[in-house]
């Protein structure tokens, strides 16, 4: 049985459908962006992450997802990364331990040579990996979904879900 994103990530009190319905509240401010979910090469979308507004590719095809929450949201939205940090993978995300996904190092110590070799369109960091943001940004546009200081779990998951769903034009699916 495939459990929904909130049931796998949020605490039981938050898992009752509170997180993803709120993702539809995000607004797409990028030029030419739509909610079709189809890849739109050369188009961008502006989303809000832990560092403010960031312009990223719309519906990126080659994503390195280091943060576990980001990986879970992408999985829920049906998006496959090309690279992940495979160390200490929770059972709910164990499929990403497969060799078809490139291991990009630990969350604390990313292998930037490996990441660059993947030619990512987008890198998603958060929490432990966010300290490596400046280096990651040299390779590809980078989202930081780190929790804001003092933010509740609900607010953190809402912000991350909104940002990632907006990148893929899947705000309705996340609702």
Torsions phi, psi for 126 (to 5 deg): 180, 155
- pLDDT at residue number 171: 85
In a 13 Å sphere around the CA of 49, the CA atoms on its Cβ side amount to 24
- pLDDT at residue number 17: 35
Which residues 6+ apart lie within 8 Å of 173 measured at CB? 37, 77, 78, 165
The answer to whether the CB of 143 falls within 8 A of the CB of 123 is yes
- pLDDT at residue number 173: 75
Residue of 66, 161, 150 whose CA lies nearest to 114: 66
- pLDDT at residue number 156: 85
- pLDDT at residue number 26: 38
Q: Which DSSP symbol is given to 146?
A: P
Residue of 140, 134, 133 whose CA lies nearest to 118: 140
Query: What are 57's strand-pairing partners?
Result: 44
Q: Which residues of the chain, if any, have pLDDT below 70?
A: 1-42, 174-175
The answer to whether the CB of 75 falls within 8 A of the CB of 124 is no
Residue of 20, 33, 25 whose CA lies nearest to 59: 33
The answer to whether the CB of 22 falls within 8 A of the CB of 161 is yes
Q: Model-level pTM?
A: 0.76
Q: Where are the alpha helices (DSSP H) in the chain?
A: 5-9, 19-23, 68-76, 112-118, 133-137, 153-167, 171-174
- pLDDT at residue number 112: 96
The answer to whether the CB of 81 falls within 8 A of the CB of 101 is yes
Cα(116)–Cα(113) distance, integer angstroms:
5
């Amino acid at each position: 049985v495939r459990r929904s994103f909130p049931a796998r990530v949020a605490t039981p009190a938050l898992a009752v459908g509170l997180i993803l319905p709120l993702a539809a509240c995000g607004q797409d401010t990028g030029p030419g962006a739509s909610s079709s979910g189809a890849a739109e090469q050369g188009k961008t979308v502006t989303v809000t992450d832990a560092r403010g507004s960031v312009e990223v590719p719309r519906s990126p095809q080659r994503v390195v997802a280091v943060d576990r929450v980001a990986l879970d949201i992408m999985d829920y939205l049906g998006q496959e990364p090309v690279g992940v940090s495979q160390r200490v993978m929770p059972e709910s995300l164990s499929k990403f331990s497969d060799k078809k996904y490139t291991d990009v190092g630990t969350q604390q110590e990313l292998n930037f040579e490996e990441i660059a070799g993947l030619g990512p369109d987008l890198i998603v960091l958060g929490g432990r990996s966010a300290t490596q943001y400046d280096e990651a940004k040299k390779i590809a546009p980078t989202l930081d979904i780190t929790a804001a200081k003092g933010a509740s779990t609900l607010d953190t998951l809402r912000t991350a879900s909104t940002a990632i769903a907006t990148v893929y034009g899947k705000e309705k699916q996340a609702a």
